[in-house]
Chain A
Amino acid sequence: MHAARARTAARLWLAVAATFALGAGAAGAQPAPKAIVAKRTAAGKPDISGVWEALSAAYWNLEDHAATFGPVAALGAQGAVPPGIGVVKGQIPYLPAALAQRDENYKNRLAADPEVKCYLPGVPRATYMPQPFQILQTDTDIVIAYQYASGLRTIFMKEHSEAPVDSWMGWSNGRWEGDVLVVDVTGQIGQSWLDRAGNYATASLHVVERYIPQGPDHIWYEATLEDPAVFSRPWTISLPLYRHVEPNAQLLEFKCEEFAEEVLYGHLRKKGIPPPVH
């Protein structure tokens, strides 16, 4: 166990070092903002608990993109893709074969995007889905509950260990680096996408997230993605998270399994039984 912990710690350190080394070289990358802490927990750590949401077109496409046609013509303007300035500076550094796969994913996005099937989004996609999530800071660990698909992560703050098995939301070991929450995420299953544009990673993805408090109602979120199977170098996304300030803000249910049934199982319906009308 100690050896495993040491390996995890070493990996974490290396990843953080890589973030700084490579982040500085990335085209136009801004240095991470300094932490501004409005409130602290009983343990003296930044209190980042609450209901948060990204306000970004990143869930459509992490890269720069103009408004364009959505994949379902019947939805008209409602289904069109809103424009967005990329949350990654420049382009994602895919290896050539991986870039071809990303483009293939884009072509097949209506059938192949795990979101269409109501699958858990993985990390970091869970963060910038267009739905809120709630951070809860227990005395030992941090729990993040996501509205989309009732997703859930435990960020282990004290007992770091290696992922016992691959999972859709991965395995998260966290620590405070000054007032920044740094989370090392491994053990993802490798079938998640990063957005609706077909950007993706594999099971060797290693994510280092940084939650940088920016006063009472904002968090600056960064995630560095390293996956030698598909990327030529680590790269970083960077976007703000906004607190839901409405009174009594809470997560509601978005249990999307039934919304995906026609897509997944419609072809197996009994002959003559039409899909239900909603």
Chain B
Amino acid sequence: MDIFARKAFRRRCIEAPRGTHGACHGRPLARACAAAALLCLLAATGAAAAERAKLPRTSDGQPDLQGYWTNNTVVPLQRPAAYAGRAELSEDEARARVAKALEPTEAEAGTDADVHYQLTDYGLDITQRKLNIDRRTALITDPPDGRLPAPRPEAAAQAKERADFARAHAFDGPETRPLGERCLVWPHQGPPIMPTGYNSNLEIRQAPGFVVIITEMLPDPRVVPLDNRPHIPSGVKQWLGDSRGHWDGDTLVIETTNYSGRTQVPGTPQGLLLTPAARVVERIDRTGPDTLRYRFTVEDPNLWDRPWSAEYPLTRIDGMRFEYACQEGNYGMTNTLSGARVADRAAADKGAAR
């Protein structure tokens, strides 16, 4: 199958009815996918590697990773206890997991979710985008048990302190609201970029000497130079860190440092903020015309005694990417704090009446 036939095939495969989308890799798997019109595996095969040489390149010779991609997935970061010792689900189990994730959920009355707008109708939630079907039980590939390493005791203690403070002061003012609500950083922006509940999309653009990565939410353009220049001085810390890239063969490798000490990787214990000593390495490569593989390794000697790594597929979507203007429409912050002040007054009145 040549590259274009593969592409056409893949389109048929991926554009299966909602909930049965698959990211296919390699011919045998592709055939299985066609036969079952269902699930495909993550691992790239030798056939994919051979085709990689034929994949398109930009005018300056970079492998072309450009386009709109989704990392929508139902695979959790860490392997749930129920699947301990199992790296993959059976096809039936994987299908059931997807079906369950796509079931409409009824928000419990009186909860935040109950008063939040409906993300299926008003946001690109998990049901609105292609799902990268993936039989794995965890995104984490290392440690091999699919679990985060235990944080260092002092880091864990500090994280708990922060989490307790955040709970106790959740509604004091804008500064104690989560970073995403403040439109500062959507934690899933990374790096490392993590799948998120809605708008789990990103765009990659390449210009001579640069790669630009834009997560739809929030869309800070991360401009990554590829010319081996040094990182910015350690005195300049940034929310998204400072990224430097290079090509290792056909794999884009991006190293990020200069973290602010105010962000954390989603899925890690609350309050476990990456420190300025953190270093994150992302690796992105093609696994097919409409699929990329995104791998990353996080190391932060202040948080963990060892690095940890994870991986997920990116599937091409048609786009476009809409402008996610967060700050400009942040009624949520006003409403949340106004509500909290109403609650304060009600509590004070109740106290006075007693």
Contact = CB atoms under 8 A, between A and B. Distances in A.
Contacts of A145: 212, 221, 223
A51 B134 CA distance: 41
A64 interface: no
A246 B334 CA distance: 42
Interface in B304-343: 320, 322-323, 325-328, 330, 333-334, 337-338, 340-341
B223 A251 contact: yes
Interface stretch (A21-29, A162-170, A174-182, A208-216): A162-170
A149 B322 CA distance: 17
A152 B219 CA distance: 8
The B interface, classified by DSSP as helix, strand, loop or mixed, is: loop
Interface residues of A, number: 48
B173 interface: yes
Interface stretch (A70-78, A82-90, A103-111, A260-268): A260-268
15 contacts: A42-B60, A114-B328, A117-B327, A150-B220, A154-B205, A250-B225, A253-B220, A253-B240, A255-B220, A257-B327, A258-B184, A268-B334, A269-B174, A270-B173, A273-B172
B171 interface: yes
B323 A169 contact: yes
B58 interface: yes
A217 B205 CA distance: 24
A248 interface: yes
B53 to A, nearest CB: 20
A136 B212 contact: yes
The A interface, classified by DSSP as helix, strand, loop or mixed, is: loop
Contacts, number: 130
Interface stretch (B5-13, B91-99, B122-130, B229-237): B229-237
Contacts of A114: 328
Interface of A: 41-43, 49, 114, 117-120, 134, 136-139, 141, 143, 145, 149-150, 152, 154, 164-165, 167-169, 189, 191, 248, 250-253, 255, 257-258, 260-261, 264-266, 268-271, 273, 275-276
B207 A136 contact: yes
Contacts of B28: none
Interface of B: 58-60, 66, 171-175, 182-185, 205-208, 210, 212, 214, 218-221, 223, 225, 229-230, 232, 236, 238-240, 320, 322-323, 325-328, 330, 333-334, 337-338, 340-341, 344
B175 A255 contact: no
B238 A252 contact: yes
Nearest to B348: A271
A141 B208 contact: no
Contact of A265 (B185, B212, B334): B334
B74 to A, nearest CB: 29
A52 B52 CA distance: 36
Contact of A269 (B60, B173, B323): B173
A258 B239 CA distance: 12
A235 to B, nearest CB: 26
Given A152-B221, A255-B239, A139 B58 contact: yes
B239 A164 contact: no
Given A137-B207, A137-B208, A271-B344, A265 B221 contact: no
A190 to B, nearest CB: 12
Given A145-B223, A152-B221, A265 B238 contact: no
Contacts of A120: 323, 325, 327-328
Given A137-B207, A255-B185, A168 B229 contact: no
